[in-house]
Amino acid sequence: MTLRAPAKAVLCLVLLACGVVASAQNSTTQANPEQARTHRAGPIVLAPDDVRAFPAAPAGFADVLPGVPQGRVEEFSYDSPVTGTRRKANVYLPAGYSAQRRYPVLYLLHGLAGTHEEWRGYVHAQAILDNLIAAGKAVPMIVVMPNGRALADDRPPPEDRKFAPEHLAGFAKFETELLATLIPAIDSKYPTLSDRKDRAIAGLSMGGGQALNFGLGHLDTFASIAGFSAAPNTKPAAELLPDPPRTRGQLQLLYLSCGNQDGLIGVSQTLHRYLKQHAIAHVWNVDEHGHDRESWTDNLYHFAQLIFRQPVPR
């Protein structure tokens, strides 16, 4: 089945294309492909509960620290029936990884202009996870960072094609590839715990919308779900959660976050308010950042500490 983003969501994404500015390249971190949308979908209006759920992460939390055992990231290739091509994902294996034990799995999805390298190269997910696991603050886990653009040519397109309908459609098509191909391939290759409670999905920006769409649409597959700065590809709340009582019984953790300087905050605010209205437990973390790395590192830091634990802290 081919999945399409709602027409309204596509229109919002096209409007957001206006005024995009690129961040500068520096010597240690690649430029943020999602950075600094100066054109906003509308004014940012904050409610009293649009505040931090957690303190800011401590200094150095996303840095490679001396004496901390480091995991490794390896490339994983698989054949995609959706695209008819061989596709790649990065797979993080924690320090002390052993094929003799089984691990829960987190799927991390990138933004509109990113690739499977964004979480590792730009957000520094590996260092964040290494530090948390070494400190006993996160459960050792396998983390899969795929290319969420299910197209035969899955490279980021030129700037003037970034919001093209065919490009946006590739992100929707990834749902089929993820569920039918990538997850089974990962479970076959690595010693995973394959129960839904041991599988989480999260993403930033466009990947945040994917994570909410795919995760809430398949609660038989994912028990923990997070959208960081979710983009307008996120489906309407009533479509994501048509049966709130049933959802309450299936979710282990639902985590929403956005910066209070981010023009996309309305996407997450709307979902948060629907969740409150229907008494669906969730985390709502509004930091002081924009649509940028600082927000995504901070929220990965907090989300990684909550998943794969019983019971989940609220």
Task: Note the pLDDT tens digit of each residue in 221-272.
Answer: 999 999 999 999 999 999 999 999 999 989 999 999 999 999 999 999 999 9
Sign, CA dihedral 65-260-117-143, equals positive
d(C-alpha 95, C-alpha 64), whole Å: 13
Q: Which residue has the higher pLDDT, 40 or 44?
A: 44
Order of strands across the sheet with 72-80?
72-80, 85-93, 142-146, 105-109, 199-204, 224-228, 253-259, 283-287
Percent of the chain, pLDDT > 90?
84
Could you list the residue range(s) of the whole structural domain that residue 129 is in? 7-14+73-306
Tokens of 209: 């919308």
Domain membership flag for residue 44: no
In this structure, the number of other CB atoms found within 10 A of the CB of residue 278 comes to: 15
| C-beta of residue 1 within 8 angstroms of C-beta of residue 176 | yes
Domain assignment of residue 218, yes or no: yes
Taking the whole predicted model, whether its pTM rises above 0.85 is answered as yes
Number of domains in the chain: 1
Mean pLDDT of 174-188: 98
For residue 285, tell me if it sits in a domain: yes
pLDDT value of position 20: 32
Residue with tokens 């983390």: 143
Confidence of residue 3 (pLDDT cuts 50, 70, 90): very low
Handedness of CA 168, 150, 22, 228 (dihedral sign): positive
Which tens digits make up the pLDDT trace of 131-162?
999 999 999 999 999 999 999 999 999 999 99
- With respect to residue 41, please indicate whether it lies within any of the assigned structural domains: no
Model confidence at 40: pLDDT above 70: no
pLDDT tier, 43 (very low <50, low <70, confident <90, very high otherwise): confident
CATH code for the domain in which residue 277 is found: 3.40.50.1820
Is 103 part of a structural domain of the chain?
Answer: yes
Tell me what pLDDT residue 33 has: 52
285 forms bridges with which residues in the sheet? 257
Domain-located, residue 131: yes
Residue among 305, 235, 259 at smallest CA distance from 58: 305
